[in-house]
Amino acid sequence: MGEMAQKIIKLDRGELIRELNVAFAEEWLAYYQYWIGAQVMVGPMRPLIADEFIEHANEELKHAQWLSDRIIQLGGKPVIDFADLQRTAQCKYEAPDKPYVMNLIEQNVVAERCAIARYQKICDMTFGKDYETYRMSAKILKEEIEHEQEIGDFSDDLRAGAELHDNLEK
Ligand SMILES: [Fe+2]
Ligand SMILES: [Fe+2]
């Protein structure tokens, strides 16, 4: 048991564990949203975009692992019931029911923006008060910012391609 690890933090432990569990649940939903999106997507650049989705999915799962480790170190318990993941997450799961690549990219951009706000919040909560959670959250924040940029770039490319096509038609 991480007795000293729990003693040194200078903020409400229960509140911190609750927030980390919200993030933990959101990572699982983000993982699944990317993973299932990669399976069903249709449209231009599909193999490239599907690979990127799988790469992001694996990173979201890695974030869930870090959060679970930290929750346990702090004396908490990660969400253990699958049905509670959706109840606990505040960034909502968007099913890829319209599997055109552009729709999937837009849904995942929304999820990434929500994740960025979540880790910015956890960084604000822990800065100067819990160095270890801060370090972990800042590292996840960096990767969520990269995710938003990477899929945003695909979206720009697809849009530029569509505009070029429209102009050639005229
Ligand atoms: Fe993540
Ligand atoms: Fe992400």
Number of domains the chain contains? 1
Domain annotation covers residue 2: no
Q: Which of 18-22, 76-80, 163-167 has the lowest mean pLDDT?
A: 163-167
* Residue 27 Cα to ligand 1 middle (Å): 5
Q: Is the predicted pLDDT of residue 38 greater than 90, yes or no?
A: yes
The whole-number average pLDDT for the span 133-145 is 98
pLDDT band of 1, cuts 50, 70, 90: low
* Residue 3 Cα to ligand 2 middle (Å): 32
| CB-based burial, 75-95: b 16+ in 10 Å, e otherwise | ebebbeeeeebeebbebebbe
Domain annotation covers residue 72: yes
Domain annotation covers residue 21: yes
Domain annotation covers residue 1: no
CA distance 29 to 20: 14
Domain annotation covers residue 122: yes
Domain boundaries, position 62: 10-169
Give, for 101, the enclosing helix (H) or strand (E): helix 101-126
Identify the pLDDT of residue 83: 95
* Residue 4 Cα to ligand 2 middle (Å): 31
Domain annotation covers residue 3: no
* Residue 47 Cα to ligand 2 middle (Å): 19
pLDDT band of 121, cuts 50, 70, 90: very high
Domain annotation covers residue 4: no
Here the CATH number for the domain that contains residue 96 is: 1.20.1260.10
Identify the pLDDT of residue 101: 96
Q: What is the mean pLDDT of the chain?
A: 96
